[in-house]
Structure 1
């Protein structure tokens, strides 16, 4: 197996269980590396540190799989890791939910691998060259340990191209339906596996949707669900919170069509108004026309995909938050979210504070939340805490 030595001082981070070795950490190779192959990581004196896979052309050159010297990276390794991940999910997913993230990359020490389960159908996403090489082990381990109805690969993320990999969609096992009906917190959703966004549905807001519906929506409320996708927050608000009207905004007609189906599937279609368009323009038009809401959720896609666009992203978030706060009734409740890992919790708070100052809206923050528990983040990788949500309430006496 390829032996890789890293520079003096860099071993501290690896011994602290940070699972990445950067390109500029590397001191030497025992031979010329083959992209995607397994390797042993050693300190500058030759002492064992970890095993992982390597892509010498990537900024993150090595992703670590194990810190155990005698642990082999084979089918049994993947069966063990997937079994552990599955047992963990079974311990935390409620009985009224049939969709969850089964494997969350570094969060389950399987870097480069995402696996989502939709009522027994698995959708996998492979994002790195090393995991692509190991994919046969992954598929076989999933079949043997999880016993799914089918496995569909949806490896269409742009990061694959940075790893020298093509974008791929294909059935890997069993028969895959174009759509499947799942339950989330007891609510039914049509999920488009083939042709939908991401792996089909955004599973990382499950607990936040329930919190919003239970504590931030009152019976009869008028609710705004901006960037609604398949209607997750809005339908929770209507079914659990008993909202009187939900205005759902999204730029995708496919998403809105599915959201409408989902509202009708749960018997609340008559309480929805669906608006297609760019949320920036739609919210501006709504605000200028005097629209008012009791509860608002603003959950946009990632604006800051790199550090270079953080300032531009901050301006975008602030504009949305300004529009939302101007439409919020006194005493109203608002949830703002960011799934950009470059927008840290303090930055998100700073943006909301600036919007609150400009709109003269007194806010008290009741909760700051993150992604669902089946999307665990690694303490050693701050970037893995990508989703942040602020749940805030305005005061009745605002002027």
Structure 2
């Protein structure tokens, strides 16, 4: 159990730091905003501390990590709070109440980090199993009480810790995936938008499936009736399986991962559409170039690449990559067909992403109508004070004759 607040170490904002932003809900405090000395730099990653403003007024209980640019993350604004299993249970209960109002089956993102009051923590639910990504040192060090509270609140039998990804590296944390309780016997079937996805909870990307695209899959289904669909960067069949569930005649999934494409095929089989899904393994750009050379054309083309601009230093290169995706995908769309382009990059805001896509379509010699802009689903809430929590953008165009 966490020590009482009076026994906790104290860190303090510099006089010119924006204490008002913290009071108004900002969740992060960077290393250059704090008075740092040997004592503060010696704090253990994940340790709980009191945060004060320059006038020594209490602001929040925070989790610190001197190894990270984000030196402190706000956990609670009550000075008497204890960060223990009961505290976790209260946060998880609030998050669960929202998801149970949204969904009639237990397949969703249960915790979306700062937006759900658990900084750096992602929890995805797959029926009777939850997968935790503890992407901050404070949560990694408290994974046992977090898992205990998760089981108590949700009633799930199995909890998996997926400790992989770029965010953990920024926190100085090792990569590690293990079953905390229960058992995982193989891929888990996940119903979503009438499709069936097979999620690899132990070896797949992130937690095994991307729930954030659910509303964009649903929109794509409205375009897919009777269509021939191309899904580039398909992972386990994202848009392709959604399109087949929406009545598409055929779908082609393109991905560099043989394992992901195998799961896409198993999903199509579970839906009774195995004969209508084709897969093509390879670099997405190489495959799009080959398809163009073959004269292939599709009624609907959707590209959902990985984050090309995960941070500001990669922004210009990332935006050029998004432009290239649009330029290469547009010629594959028949006249009057539809093109969907997605970005999960934190650093590329909607305006910049849209401008890159528009340039790419124009450079391909195509004219287009922008017909829909989509975002992540309501189980991925946006924290108003943290732009990074609203990372997903999806643009749908109609390419004109």
TM-score (norm 1): 0.94
* Residue of structure 2 equivalent to 1:290: 295
What is aligned with 2:280?
275
Q: Is 1:133 the counterpart of 2:141 in the alignment? A: yes
Map 1:64-213 to 2 at 5 A.
Answer: 64-93=74-103, 95=104, 97-213=105-221
Matched, 1:329 2:334: yes
Number of positions where the alignment pairs a residue of Structure 1 with one of Structure 2: 391
Pairing 1:6–2:13 present: yes
Corresponding residue for residue 374 of structure 2:
369
Instruction: Please list the CA deviations of residues 95-115 of structure 1 after superposition, one character each: whole Å capped at 9, or x if unmatched.
Output: 2x4421111111101012111
8 A contact 1:2–1:31 mirrored in 2: no
- SS for the counterpart of 2:366 is coil
Question: Of 341, 350, 355, which aligns to 2:346?
Answer: 341
Q: Separation in 1 of the partners of 2:334 and 2:210?
A: 29
Is this contact kept in 2: 1:151–1:173, CA < 8 A?
yes
Change (3 A) 1:22 1:188: same
**Is residue 320 of structure 1 aligned with residue 325 of structure 2?**
yes
Judged with a 3 Å threshold, the aligned counterparts in structure 2 of structure 1 residues 353 and 164 are, in CA distance, closer, same or farther, namely closer
Task: State the superposition RMSD in angstroms.
Answer: 1.6
Aligned to 1:44: 54
Segments of 5+ residues of structure 2 without an aligned counterpart are 1-7
Find 2:229's aligned residue among 223, 226, 241: 223
CA distance in structure 2 between the partners assigned to 1:192 and 1:327 by the alignment: 31
Q: CA contact under 8 A between 2:158 and 2:183: conserved in structure 1? A: yes
> Do the aligned residues in 1 keep the contact of 2:196 with 2:241 (CA within 8 Å)?
no
Deviation at 1:292, TM superposition (A): 0.9
Q: Which 4+ stretches in 1 moved above 4 angstroms?
A: 28-32
Deviations 1:72-94 (A, max 9, x none): 2222211100000111111112x
2:276 equivalent to 1:266: no
Shift in Å at residue 150 of structure 1? 0.6
2:28 aligns with 20
SS in 2 for 1:27: coil
Distance (Å, rounded) in 1 between the aligned partners of 2:314 and 2:66: 27
Q: Partners in 2 of 1:358 and 1:123 — Cα distance?
A: 42
The reply to whether residue 378 of structure 1 matches residue 383 of structure 2 is yes
Q: What is the DSSP-based 3-state SS (H/G/I as helix, E as strand, rest coil) of the residue aligned with 1:331? A: strand
Distance change (3 Å), C-alpha of 1:166 and 1:348: same
Displacement of 1:354 in angstroms is 0.7
**What residue number does 2:69 align with?**
59
- Provide the secondary structure at the position in 2 that maps to 1:304: coil
How does the TM-score come out when normalised to structure 2? 0.94
The offset of 1:218, in angstroms, is 2.6
**In terms of mean alpha carbon deviation, does 183-192 or 10-19 score higher?**
183-192
Task: Report how far residue 340 of structure 1 moved.
Answer: 0.9
Gaps of 5+ in 1: none
Q: Is the 8 A contact 2:31 2:69 kept in 1?
A: yes
Cα distance in structure 2, aligned partners of 1:392 and 1:244: 20
Partner of residue 5, structure 2: none
| 1:32-57 Cα distance to aligned partner (Å, 9 max, x none) | 43332111111111111111111122
